[in-house]
Every structure is written in C-alpha cells, then in structure tokens.
C-alpha cells in the first residue's frame, strides 16, 4: 500500500495552513495513498511560542482544527495522522502538543501527547518547549490497514526507549511528525530516522516542516519514508509537497525473518 508524508512550510495564519494541508491530503489520496501524515505544528508556526495558547482546543468538544482533519480524512477516504495541534489542559498557561489520528470515516482513532519537550541553546538559537507545553506520559499505538502503527513527535525521535515501549508487540510503521530546526536536522535527522527503522525493523514515516517561515525560523525539512532495512525510499528536501512510497508487508516480513533481531530482543528480556 502507498503511504504519504506531507511536508509543509506553515505560516502564522491557521486558515491558510488548514487549506494547504487539505490540498496535500487530497493530492496524496488521488495518487493512491491509504495513509497520510502531516508535520508537527502543521496548523501554526506563530511569531511566539505563546501564540498557540489562544488556539488550544478541547479534547471533548473538539475545535476547528480537529474538525478540519476529520473532514479531510472523510472527504479523501484515507487515514490521516494529523501532525500536531494545541490541546487544552487544566492550566491555561500550558497545553499539550497532540497528534490526533482520523479514520477514513472521519472518526478519531487515536491521540498521542508529545512526551519529550525540546530544548536547545547553542548561543545563537534558543528553544524551550517546556515554557508553554505540558509533557504527555503515555506511549500510543493503534491498528489500521492491517498494521500496528506507533506514534511519536519530533524530539521524541532521540529517545529509543519510547520506541521500544511502542514496539511491544512490534510496530509495522512508526510515525514521526516533526518540525526539526535546520541546525539539529542537518546533523541528526536522517541518522536518527534510519536508526529507529533498523532497530525496530519497521517502516518509518516522517513528515516535516521544511523551509523558511514567516516568523523567521528555518526548519530542516527532508520529509522521508524509510524501510525496515534503513533504506530511504523517498525524500523531499524543502518546500511543501507530497512524499510517497510503498509500504510492502512482504518486505517487512522478509527483513524480520532474515535477521530475527526482534525475537532475540524479546527472548533476552525474558518476554519470549
């Protein structure tokens, strides 16, 4: 089956971003994708971190962003991994960075809240998501298209223990919607994605922000799909667009049979 990572260069205007996302979802669906994934912060990259607070939506009542994702899934008839959106918490000064997944009928199938919050300071660039975000605490995987699919977000990529937790039982596909900085992406993005694919013997889909944004931030892009042997099947360096590849379950099983590392890992830890 075909899967698609949707790369964006999100702006400071939510409606514009939702329109671009909807167009990319439709484009991928027309090309035959059964599952599409949007990048982190697809709905907004504001001038300030606190801009997200005004957009935070309710988990129970929903909101315009969640409605747009559900409508796109239903209209295109595909599974939509909805990047991330700001989800309200009990603290008005904190929100969750949430990845919501929608089935082709528009119903929400999963929600994952980013566990690891990015911080970086090299003297020229400074980021600290903990100023606004509240960390999640629960790994989330869901079943779709005959696959077990694990969810993660951006900075989570640096923490292999999260993926070990997700892969019990093994995932067939790991999703990593991201907004890597240019600096950290250039150094580590492909390296980490391929490592997660190889060590968990599964496909990885990594939709990213890719370009220079209205707020002056530059993101690395290079949205990609990686196979269980660590081969990069498709990649887009910069700019909005669709990155598509075939997820071959026979390839998945072949890799696991030839090199039964997952079975060895479970046995070594006393789980099989």
| Catalytically active residues, by annotation | 40, 114, 154
Six-digit token string for 202: 């599964």
Q: CB under 8 Å to 18, separation ≥6 — which residues?
A: 43, 64, 65, 68
Closest CA to 42 of 219, 237, 246, 247: 219
Phi, psi of 32 (to 5 degrees): 105, 10
Scan for tokens 């998501």, then name that residue: 129
127: tokens are 């980021």
For the record, the structure tokens of 92 come out as 């008005």
Eight-state DSSP code of residue 95: E
- Give how far the C-alpha of residue 115 lies from the chain's centroid of Cα atoms, to the nearest Å: 13
The tokens 């000064």 sit on which residue? 93
Residue 107: CB partners within 8 Å, gap ≥ 6? 70
Residue of 73, 64, 77 lying closest to 32 (CA atoms): 77
At residue 122, the 3 state secondary structure works out as coil
Number of H helices, E strands in the chain: 6, 17
Determine the Cα–Cα distance for residues 83 and 186; give it in Å rounded to an integer: 21
């Amino acid at each position: 089956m075909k899967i698609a990572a949707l790369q964006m260069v999100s702006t400071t205007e939510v409606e514009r971003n939702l329109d671009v996302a909807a167009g990319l979802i439709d484009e991928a669906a027309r090309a035959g994708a059964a599952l599409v994934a949007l990048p982190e912060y697809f709905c907004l990259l504001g001038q300030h971190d606190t801009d997200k607070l005004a957009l935070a939506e309710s988990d129970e009542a929903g909101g315009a962003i969640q409605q747009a994702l559900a409508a796109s899934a239903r209209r295109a008839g595909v599974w939509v991994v909805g990047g991330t959106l700001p989800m309200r918490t009990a603290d008005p000064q904190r929100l969750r960075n949430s990845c919501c997944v929608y089935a082709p009928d528009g119903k929400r199938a999963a929600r994952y809240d980013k566990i690891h919050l990015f911080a970086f300071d090299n003297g020229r660039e400074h980021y600290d998501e903990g100023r606004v975000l509240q960390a999640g605490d629960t790994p989330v995987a869901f079943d779709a298209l005959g696959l077990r699919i694990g969810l993660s977000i951006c900075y989570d990529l640096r923490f292999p223990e999260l993926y070990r937790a997700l892969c019990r039982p093994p995932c067939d596909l790991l999703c990593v919607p991201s907004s890597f900085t240019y600096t950290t992406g250039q150094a580590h993005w492909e390296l980490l994605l391929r490592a997660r694919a190889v060590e968990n013997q599964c496909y990885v889909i990594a939709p990213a922000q890719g370009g220079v944004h209205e707020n002056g931030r530059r993101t690395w892009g290079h949205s990609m799909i990686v196979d269980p042997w660590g081969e990069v099947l498709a990649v887009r360096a910069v700019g909005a667009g669709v990155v598509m590849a075939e997820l071959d379950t026979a390839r998945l099983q072949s890799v696991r049979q030839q090199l039964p590392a997952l079975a060895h890992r479970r046995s070594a830890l006393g789980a099989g």
